[in-house]
């Protein structure tokens, strides 16, 4: 063979090899499809805010610390003062918004004294104030599910308001007997929810909360005589609801107790201190909250893995039934027919 012919054949051979190895017709194998992993659902946190008149400013401090640590509640229940803070929070305000509202709050804007009418305070101003703060929206249109707890006077039963006029529900929940006039809604009469549910843990559960953080600011019988009419009435209601309250608090996942028991029922001048005490108590409870949330997250993750395993097993079983049901000819040919292999 002539040298020139040999070089030509060699060149053609190399070109063919290059084309076979790197040509456009050579495509990488498609990766195998995989089954999407079910994501574990987040833990649904609820707060149950108890009654306690001016002590209720402590709720703002608790919520502030929960938000700061990444534990934002998604459902809110409140009794009496807790229903006031709860309504504002459920409307979309954050803790800093509520703190600004608290600092600028004038008692005259929520207190309308009217003698000889079943109570010293009518409560209409409180109702109007709350409705103005939530944009006059009904409870079912607030950004977070919200429940205000009151007591039906005729039966003594707990009443949970989750729909309708927010201000009116808060007014009913806050109508301390002898201080506020009872509230009539739908032909029924309602007074302060602290009589039957001082810290509304069960209402938060009914709203769908998996992990309930209860905030207890209620007065306790301390052996000392409370000062003033409002203080006496407030402590009397607390004593009446104390036994029921202990049972309900036991159903919470975490109970936070801000040190505000020495703040008077009408001592609005102590609002700043109450907020600070709420912050301190919430931070002290944070390790317990983190541990509880972590346990629920682990349970959710395990549940998601189990759901994936069950789905995979069901798909494999259906695939095998399909293979078994093929025609004899398809089986001899090794064809899967219409059977879709399960995604791994």
Active site residues: 80, 192
44 closest CA partner among 144, 163, 149? 144
230 closest CA partner among 51, 49, 50, 82? 51
- Which residue, chain included where needed, has tokens 């305000």? 93
d(CA 97, CA 187): 36
d(CA 52, CA 8): 100
CA angle 131, 137, 138 (to 5 degrees): 100
| Cα dihedral 216, 222, 227, 229 sign | positive
Q: What is the DSSP string of 255-287?
A: EE--S-TTS-TT-GGGHHHHHHHHHHHHHHHHH
């Amino acid at each position: 063979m002539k040298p020139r012919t040999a070089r030509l054949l060699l060149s053609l051979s190399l070109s063919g090899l290059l084309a076979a190895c790197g040509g456009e017709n050579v495509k990488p194998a498609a990766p195998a499809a995989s089954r999407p992993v079910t994501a574990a659902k987040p833990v649904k946190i609820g707060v149950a805010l108890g009654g306690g008149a001016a002590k209720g400013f402590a709720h703002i401090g608790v919520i502030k610390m929960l938000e700061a640590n990444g534990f934002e509640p998604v459902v809110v229940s409140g009794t009496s003062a807790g229903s006031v803070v709860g309504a504002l929070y459920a409307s979309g305000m954050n803790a800093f918004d509520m703190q600004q509202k608290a600092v600028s709050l004038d008692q005259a804007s929520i207190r309308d004294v009217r003698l000889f009418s079943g109570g010293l305070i009518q409560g209409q101003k409180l109702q109007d104030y709350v409705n103005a703060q939530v944009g006059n929206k009904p409870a079912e249109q607030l950004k977070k599910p919200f429940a205000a707890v009151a007591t039906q006077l005729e039966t003594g039963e707990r009443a949970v308001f989750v729909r309708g006029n927010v201000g009116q529900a808060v007014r009913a929940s806050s109508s301390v007997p002898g201080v506020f006039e009872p509230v009539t809604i739908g032909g029924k009469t309602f007074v302060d929810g602290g009589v039957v549910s001082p810290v509304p843990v069960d209402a938060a559960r009914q709203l769908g909360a998996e992990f309930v953080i209860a905030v207890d600011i209620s007065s306790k019988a301390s052996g000392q005589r409370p000062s003033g009419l409002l203080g006496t009435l407030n402590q009397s209601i607390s004593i009446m609801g104390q036994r029921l309250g202990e049972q309900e608090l036991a159903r919470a996942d975490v109970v936070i107790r801000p040190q505000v028991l020495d703040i008077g029922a009408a001592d609005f001048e102590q609002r700043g201190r109450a907020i600070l005490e709420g912050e301190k108590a919430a931070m002290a409870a944070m390790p317990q909250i983190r541990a509880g949330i972590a346990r629920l997250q682990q349970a959710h993750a395990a549940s998601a893995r189990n759901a994936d395993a069950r789905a995979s097993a069901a798909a494999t079983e259906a695939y095998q039934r399909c293979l078994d049901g093929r025609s004899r000819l398809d089986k001899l040919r090794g064809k899967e027919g219409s059977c879709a292999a399960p995604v791994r």
